[in-house]
Chain A
Amino acid sequence: MRSYYAANWASFTFNGLLSWIQQYQEEPQPKEVQDWSSLLDEGEELVYLSNPDSASISNLQVFCFTSEEDEEEAQSSDLPNPTEEKAVNEDTDVKPSADSNEEATTEKQETVGGAEEEQLQVTPTEGEEQDTDKPHLSTAQSQLEPTRKRITYAHLVKEGRRFNIDLVSKLMYSRGSLVDLLIKSNVSRYAEFKNVTRILTYRNGNVEQVPCSRADVFASRQLSVVEKRKLMRFLTSCMEETEEHQAYSGRPYLEFLCDQKLGDNLQHFLLHSIAMVTEDTPIEEGLAATRHFLRSLGRYGNTPFLFPLYGLGEIPQCFCRMCAVFGGIYCLRHSVDCLVVDKDTNRCKAVIDNRGQRISCSHFVVEDSYVGKKAAAPRRLLSRAVLITDGSVLPSDSDQQVSMVTIPPVAARYPVVKMVELCPSTMTCIPGTYLVHLTCQSAGSAYEDLAPVVTRCFHTPDSPDQENRPSVLWCVYFNMVDGSGVELEGHGLPSNVYVCSGLDSTLGHEYAIRQAELIFQKILPEEDFCPPAPNPEDIIYDGENPSTPAGEEDEDGAGEEGKREQSQTQE
């Protein structure tokens, strides 16, 4: 039972994340199967849904590398870092903050659909009464402090509400389908975005900037002028399909790049940072990825990517909000226990929630983990790590850089890692810190996959020699299901039940948007998907009670798209 939106697409405050972690670290309680057959009418049968939560997240590991409480300044700067690895189920720290977070989320929920502005304010509310000293003062101090003051765990918890930590790490291609959809539907009015300011890559033990725009290439100091020319030439020429490309059909993109005699530098940039593909990706896919990257370049800035302020969790919320304007209803802390299926028509007539309430519906959209046959096929997993660090992996003149870092396999059999480093001005972390997301396809557990990258790029107790690199203050590793491989058909479900997958491993949102549109078209083949919404002030309510029982309930499994469709069906 969730108290937040959007399942694994959700975004948490630091404290919220801690309670989320706690929830997963507790022994999953066996679900009591309740018999709701008394609620059935003639000709109906029950189809039970499974509990997805325990399955989608695994291998959760938390480390805290910063000192717990404020210490004497001198002590913390002289001594090597206190390396207490702290399993987070130390109740003393977690409990109170988790409580206050819950209040916060409820508060959020209430404001949905109404006043937008207040919703994501980061200023502390009455809920955080235990803060005796002013949190603002302490942040101001840490900003002014020229010496690197270690931020303590207590400080992270105290300022926890100012973090917005996503479970998923993605970026928006400036000409990707999500941006197009946000613009088309006017949902964009509910969010603000920041440009990713630079593309970095980890290479030969260093983090380097990848020149990708014309201005970057011009300004780059690590490329020779000849390399600059070759790179520009390649980027211009690959926009169009040539005979040369066709000649390589079916062969790896890398082979094509090699034959272009671009040199190691450029080959690395083009393969890992621009196309972001692996060494065995075929040329068609590599070129398509390169073109997608290049097309998005320059629309809003010097990189192809946007990131929403307050985190990616905003995006589902924005769609929810738009939906709520048109009467969509959300029920948090409810789960659907089972479907009520009409035996004759094989259609889902209603759902029954965990409290035994029967809610009739005409369509039902659900994430595959609720209906999937468990362990039918070994599911693909993503490895994720979220780090709070005290500096950027590549310090520059500006401390407000949003960086996308591509990390090729650090050694054989290791996966390609994508790292996104967010600065405080993205409103995802507090001043003096950076929020770092690492993502890769799992080869082993998240820790096994990602710890080698973390120790190379950051200063941790496991990499004590990396003192010039930023320190990790706190981090969490976990695996989550990669939804891209999920079979969406053939669950033998009623014809008006639509299954969507969870999040996928790609950097963009193309997969999710395409799926949402497909499901929408199945439900409403005649309707335009996410048509431009009128301005709120232009909407005239015709006196109809907006709280007429919703036709269906969505246990937020389908993310934003499911809700969107709900609103459509009601109109």
Chain B
Amino acid sequence: MSLQETHASQSMFLLDTHCQRKEGILDEEALQVTQQLLSSNPDFATLWNYRREILMHLETVKEKDEVQKIYEAELAFLESCLKLNPKSYGSWHHRCWVSARLPRPDWSRELSLCDRCLSLDDRNFHCWDYRRMVVKVSGVPVAQELGFTDRLIGSNFSNYSSWHYRSTLLPLLHPESPESPSPSHEPPQPSPSHSPQTQSHRVCEEQLLKEYELVQNAFFTDPNDQSAWFYYRWLLGRAEREEMISCVYVSRDEERVAVAFSRPVNAQSVSLLLVLDGQPQKVEWKSVHPRFKHSPVCICDLPPGTISDITNEHNLTVHWTEKYTHRDCALYTGRTESWCRDSATDQELFRSELSVEKTSVLQSELQSCNQLLELEPLNKWCLLTIVLLMRALDPLGYEKETLAHFQTLKEVDPMRSAYYSDLCSKFIIENTVLKMEYAEVRVFSITDKNLTTLCHLDQLLLVTHINLSSNQLQQLPPQFAMLQCLEVLEVDNNRIENLEGVYHLPKLEEVLLKNNKISALADLQPLASCPKLRRLDLRGNPVTQAANIESELTALLPSVTDLLL
């Protein structure tokens, strides 16, 4: 039979089975026919469905023993299909289905099938999925499964599936002992104990040390293999920040309250309760920019007149009811604004990326990575991991080395240079935030540091003066609207095209945008939402070349009295 004929007869066959299915023929002959078709092409979902219909029907008419036999034959048939295509979605799915319906399943046989299959291709994710199902249903002990990953990693450690599986097993088998001290600071507020989910990710230190050794063996053996590095990153970075209200800010002039959280919340649905002088207030919480639903900063406007009396003191409490946490803030007589936040936490703010119980552990990990770097000075995984370790240990102390490593990273991995620039920008911002905290000022300045992106803007809620001149910024993103106290914005000599984030900033008075890439009047539209804007420097922007720009700007921004074009 020629190929075409085969094809034609197959199509005929298919047509037949299709009709049979429609007619509701659910007999063993149909089972035979579909088997023939599927054994030449197991990726035919409809036929598998038809088979399932037949099998379910047979279940109702046959004795239990016979059903067992039919299903066993089905498993044998499936094995032949898997030999044909070991990555057939249909076959694996059907096997799952059959295994679940088999009156007397033989799970150990299924496990050994998976083992055989994985020994042929240890990255067959269909098989991994199926295996997880088998393990779950048959209740294989966790320790045995960990042994299984040991074996797989031993035979080939370039297998992220095994490493990942390990990361799910370890917290079950070696959970962090409850009495071991939490890596984070003392909770500033009387807050409830850590939620159980937070605990369950963590592994006891003794086991962690063994894992470090294991994974180091992998990345020293082959530092270009990313699976080991990813696992390593998982081992190092398990800290989760406590959910809390990190700052409450109240402004008398605007009669506005801004609340910053340790993670983004949905302003509409977050369960917040504002109590002012003992009276719960009905207020509407909103995010700082319409572009987000979730934001780490929420704002609300108080009912008019509630705190505008400068001669009175007011006490505010914001409750985050679902997390049983709250924060007080007192607005004293004669003050126009007030805030409450912890400064103790600041030091730890950005270390959550990597956080291990003991600095000594991190220190020795850094040492071995440096050792590897000596041997492999151009290995990007090693460089990146060193940067992360340095961040976790002492972000300010290692600042210089970190920047040098970023430079190397961009050179050895030019394909990802933009990623490294962004990451580097993030770290520079973090360091600057930390320095600002130590100096206890509300001025934030990063100039001439090649910043490509802005982040952690929620940390700048209280900043009144920001200077980002001479960087590579292309936009002031919507998150910028979190700078609720901002009065002066300096972003000269960047590449800014977009001012979306300069939005409803109640105190903003000066915007210095010299030598940027604002090209259309529409790009300046957001500025119109800032009521106090009075000085705007647009020199060196393409938009200044447009006709009638001055008059149009005056119309757009009537409050601006000092316009530089």
CA distance A230 to B371 in the complex (A): 12
Contacts of B375 in A (CB 8 A): 226, 229-230, 233
| Total interface residues in chain A, CB < 8 Å | 12
Contacts of B154 in A (CB 8 A): 215, 218-219
Question: Are B218 and A229 within 8 A (Cβ)?
Answer: no
Partner of A226, one of B155, B156, B218, B220: B220
Mark B213-255 against chain A: 1 for CB-CB distance below 8 A, else 0: 0001110111100000000000000000000000000000000
Partner of B368, one of A219, A225, A232: A225
CB contacts under 8 Å to B, within A189-246, are 214-215, 217-219, 225-226, 228-230, 232-233
CA distance A225 to B367 in the complex (A): 12
Partner of A214, one of B222, B223, B372: B222
* Minimal beta-carbon separation of A211 from chain B (angstroms): 9
For chain B, which range describes its interface: under 10, 10 to 19, 20 to 34, or 35 or more residues?
10 to 19
Contacts of B218 in A (CB 8 A): 218
Question: Are B220 and A215 within 8 A (Cβ)?
Answer: no
Partner of A225, one of B155, B156, B157, B220: B220
Contacts of A232 in B (CB 8 A): 220-222
CA distance A232 to B220 in the complex (A): 9
* Minimal beta-carbon separation of A315 from chain B (angstroms): 28
Contacts of B371 in A (CB 8 A): 225-226
Question: Are B217 and A229 within 8 A (Cβ)?
Answer: no
CA distance A217 to B219 in the complex (A): 11
Whether, in the assembled complex, B552 has its beta carbon less than 8 Å from a beta carbon of chain A, the answer is no
Contacts of B216 in A (CB 8 A): 225
CA distance A218 to B221 in the complex (A): 6
CA distance A217 to B217 in the complex (A): 8
Whether, in the assembled complex, B413 has its beta carbon less than 8 Å from a beta carbon of chain A, the answer is no
Question: Are A215 and B368 within 8 A (Cβ)?
Answer: no
- Dominant SS at the A interface? helix
Mark B363-385 against chain A: 1 for CB-CB distance below 8 A, else 0: 00000100110011000000000
Among B156, B221, B223, chain A packs the most CB atoms within 10 A around the CB of B221
* Minimal beta-carbon separation of A544 from chain B (angstroms): 38
Contacts of A215 in B (CB 8 A): 154-157
Question: Are B157 and A229 within 8 A (Cβ)?
Answer: no
Partner of B223, one of A218, A229, A230: A229
Contacts of B223 in A (CB 8 A): 229
Question: Are A225 and B217 within 8 A (Cβ)?
Answer: yes
Mark A248-292 against chain B: 1 for CB-CB distance below 8 A, else 0: 000000000000000000000000000000000000000000000
CA distance A214 to B219 in the complex (A): 11
CA distance A230 to B368 in the complex (A): 14
Mark B312-351 against chain A: 1 for CB-CB distance below 8 A, else 0: 0000000000000000000000000000000000000000
CB contacts under 8 Å to B, within A92-108, are none
CA distance A214 to B222 in the complex (A): 8
Contacts of B156 in A (CB 8 A): 214-215
CA distance A226 to B218 in the complex (A): 11
Contacts of B220 in A (CB 8 A): 225-226, 228-229, 232
* Minimal beta-carbon separation of A252 from chain B (angstroms): 25
* Minimal beta-carbon separation of A298 from chain B (angstroms): 10
CB contacts under 8 Å to A, within B156-184, are 156-157
CA distance A229 to B368 in the complex (A): 12
CA distance A214 to B228 in the complex (A): 14
Contacts of B222 in A (CB 8 A): 214, 218, 232
Contacts of A219 in B (CB 8 A): 154, 217
* Minimal beta-carbon separation of B217 from chain A (angstroms): 5
CA distance A226 to B375 in the complex (A): 8
CA distance A225 to B217 in the complex (A): 6
Among B156, B222, B368, chain A packs the most CB atoms within 10 A around the CB of B222
Contacts of B217 in A (CB 8 A): 218-219, 225, 228
Contacts of B221 in A (CB 8 A): 214, 217-218, 228-229, 232
CA distance A232 to B157 in the complex (A): 14
- Closest-by-CB residue of B relative to A302 is B155
Contacts of B157 in A (CB 8 A): 215, 218
CA distance A370 to B435 in the complex (A): 92
Contacts of A214 in B (CB 8 A): 156, 221-222
Contacts of A230 in B (CB 8 A): 375
CA distance A226 to B220 in the complex (A): 7
Mark B39-76 against chain A: 1 for CB-CB distance below 8 A, else 0: 00000000000000000000000000000000000000
Contacts of B372 in A (CB 8 A): 225-226, 229
Question: Are B376 and A229 within 8 A (Cβ)?
Answer: yes
CA distance A233 to B378 in the complex (A): 14
- Closest-by-CB residue of B relative to A217 is B221
* Minimal beta-carbon separation of B195 from chain A (angstroms): 37
- Closest-by-CB residue of B relative to A231 is B221
* Minimal beta-carbon separation of A564 from chain B (angstroms): 35
- Closest-by-CB residue of A relative to B150 is A219
CA distance A229 to B217 in the complex (A): 9
CA distance A218 to B368 in the complex (A): 16
- Closest-by-CB residue of A relative to B368 is A225
* Minimal beta-carbon separation of A236 from chain B (angstroms): 9
CB contacts under 8 Å to A, within B134-166, are 154-157
CA distance A218 to B375 in the complex (A): 17
CA distance A226 to B216 in the complex (A): 10
CA distance A215 to B159 in the complex (A): 12
CA distance A366 to B239 in the complex (A): 77
- Closest-by-CB residue of B relative to A218 is B221
CA distance A462 to B480 in the complex (A): 85
CB contacts under 8 Å to B, within A24-55, are none
CA distance A431 to B28 in the complex (A): 51
- Closest-by-CB residue of A relative to B154 is A219
- Closest-by-CB residue of A relative to B156 is A215
- Closest-by-CB residue of A relative to B214 is A218
CA distance A217 to B157 in the complex (A): 11
* Minimal beta-carbon separation of B199 from chain A (angstroms): 31
Contacts of A217 in B (CB 8 A): 221
* Minimal beta-carbon separation of B389 from chain A (angstroms): 16
CA distance A225 to B371 in the complex (A): 9
Mark B188-225 against chain A: 1 for CB-CB distance below 8 A, else 0: 00000000000000000000000000001110111100
* Minimal beta-carbon separation of A59 from chain B (angstroms): 44
* Minimal beta-carbon separation of A221 from chain B (angstroms): 9
Q: What are the nearest 7 A-B pairs in CB distance?
A: A225-B220, A229-B220, A218-B221, A228-B220, A217-B221, A228-B221, A229-B375
Q: A215-B154, A226-B220 are in contact. List 10 more A-B contacts (CB 8 A).
A: A214-B221, A218-B217, A218-B218, A219-B217, A225-B220, A226-B375, A229-B221, A229-B223, A229-B372, A230-B375
Chain A to chain B contacts (Cβ below 8 Å), 23 pairs: A214-B156, A215-B154, A217-B221, A218-B157, A218-B217, A218-B218, A219-B217, A225-B216, A225-B217, A225-B220, A225-B371, A225-B372, A226-B220, A226-B372, A226-B375, A228-B217, A228-B220, A229-B221, A229-B223, A229-B375, A229-B376, A232-B221, A232-B222
B-side residues, CB < 8 A to A, are 154-157, 216-218, 220-223, 368, 371-372, 375-376
